Amino acid sequence: MKRSTLVTISGIALAHQASHISAWSPTQSSAFTSISSSHRSEKRPSCRPLAMSSTDKEIDMESLHLTPELEMMTKAFARIPDEKTRHKQLLYMASKLEEVGDDVRVPENKVPGCLSTVHVDCVLVPKEDDESEKVVKYFGDSDGLLTKGLLALLIRGLSGCTPEQISKVDPKFIQAAKISQTLTPGRNNGFLNMLAVMKKKAVDAADVGTNGDEITATNDDKNGDVSEAETIDNTSREIVTSFEEIEGKPMYNAIMSTLITLLKPNSISLVDNSHQHAGHGGAKGWEESGESHFQLEIVAEAFEGLSLVKRHQLIYMVLGEVMSKIHALEIRAKSPSD
């Protein structure tokens, strides 16, 4: 008789045999030994630290600052014995992602730098066991099945927690879950961009809840073309909302568009110094458009409380695959209080 193992992910399970793999949803009465009783309830768990089991000593879960749901799924994916089954689990999660309307599929919710088209947004809702506390609820969609599975993983893992808890999540959990082994560099960058957008969305939602006014860029006067850099006022802070695109400079346009969309800077300046390095060996991007070296100056609240190194890392993460196409980016990143 063939032995089969059951890999469970809180309401989703994969039956794995030597010659058969299938995805299924267990009945309400099913009991899983790999999940504590607090996770058998249909209610989303509150954001309390989970105790690490002895089998997870090789993974420093505490350093990843995961939400309880995300930690549970990370451990479950890590226990899946092969890449094919992990891939199948992501596709199954994609099939279970709640449908969204066209009001979500708008430019403000589009995640830049993804191979597939991804839209994600969130709202603040009262916490189930404490209505005085607000938590984030995400929703979104993608036209790529694997990307949709990654989005479903993030939506499920981050929903139900506070913006502060979400902002601390380390994207390296994708490696601890062994999911990164199945991702191409392009999809990995897309995953990083999805997480970065979702973190920023959570912070913006919290700001809306605090200030009562939502930060929204208007396009009424653009007539399809991007004009001079425009700003809007939010509680006496100016936020850059657009910039003037330069024809024949795709990297410049991509960097500016991504940083403005995700970091919502108070000010931003990007200078193309590629002409100073023309003909230098190893200058990435030179053959494509002549763009290889840039100087960036940016002021954004997203940098508040971050060290210089962390600010640079945030910019690298947000820009994703663009960084692999240029040779150098000189960065001066400040917060409004600097």
Tell me which residues are annotated as active site.
Answer: 114
Phi and psi, residue 23, nearest 5°: -105, 140
Nearest Cα neighbor of 40 from 50, 54, 52, 26 is 26
Structure token digits, residue 71: 């930690």
Nearest Cα neighbor of 50 from 29, 72, 32 is 72
Distance CA 13, CA 27 (A): 11
Which of helix, strand or coil describes residue 122?
strand
Distance CA 84, CA 194 (A): 23
**Which residue, chain included where needed, has tokens 């890392």?**
313
| Percentages (nearest 5) of helix, strand, coil residues in the chain | 40, 20, 40
Q: Amino acid identity of 15?
A: A
Whether 140 contacts 117, CB under 8 Å: no
User: What are the residues facing 227 on neighbouring strands?
Assistant: none
**Which residue, chain included where needed, has tokens 């596709």?**
91
Q: Are strands 231-234 and 118-127 parallel, antiparallel or unpaired?
A: unpaired
Distance CA 139, CA 160 (A): 12
**Which residue, chain included where needed, has tokens 């030994």?**
33
Whether 12 contacts 93, CB under 8 Å: yes
DSSP state of 28: T
Distance CA 160, CA 10 (A): 15
Q: What is the CB-side half-sphere exposure of residue 223 using CA atoms within 13 A?
A: 2
